[in-house]
Structure 1
């Protein structure tokens, strides 16, 4: 049986997670908070890992998880939850998380600007040094930043296919349902993304050799 290992929890059976997501999603559409809690328990790790890969920031990933499930609950309370097209809610939640990543990034930029102004006005006070406890997390963020720079060089629709199918292990059918396109379109985008990334990597390697 296939399992998915996450950075925030033990390996979890994909089949078990998908067993009755349709039932939970239907209950969620009726603003059932217990259904939301169970969907969060099942899919928060997947959303967290997806958000980290999208933002290259552990802190931002935490914010994205909260923002995503808050947005889901708002839709439930407003009666605007769309019917689930696939067996699991994972891909739909990941697409919503992608939308929240942009919001979190904008908020983070505003906070950095505010922090800079506060430090300037307070004479440049230095924040506490947590380097010893965060070195590994920083290394992860730097590596993911490199990956994100490469991905920004390919079209967004290709990036989405890579993020859902390759990184988050969604099936072609799940990705197609979440993105609102055909399975053939997802396969085509994946094929083109792999070709595009191969070209990007070759160009990067050439630049490194010439530098």
Structure 2
């Protein structure tokens, strides 16, 4: 039996558990392999992104062509995601402002990681949780997973902002029906860390 055939026979709850455990394992492996240099960080990020995509596909998630409107919603969502915390607390800038080099490699790896996180979290996991327990549980659980997966790399201080961002990104997913809008918003927010 193939992984896809097996995933079709799993219940939505079972898929959610497998995705959550896989996400946790991938996040811990990424942190362990991240190292202190750009090359090891990029390799760890690439492996993390690939692992998340494999998990999502094994659980039955499949891409759909994004609508142009979803990209527009994602751009607006990303601007809000970056702007609101800065307006509410200008001291937020001290948490951001990463400058990994080389910039082009960072752009590519960040795009992969963001896309993979959105496919797994707002694609496969959110769908499985929604089917198993409804939209409220899906939003809260996938957002908590989003916040907690960042702890091994960035510490517990990121949990509140990442939890709020996770809820926002899940809202974009429900608004547009796909992962394009949250992926665009997430990528813009990550890009903003370069300049802020």
Q: TM-score, normalised by structure 1?
A: 0.28
Q: Which has the higher contact order (CA 8 A, sep 6+)?
A: 2
* Structure with greater Cα Rg: 1
Give the number of the structure whose residues are more often strand, by fraction: 1
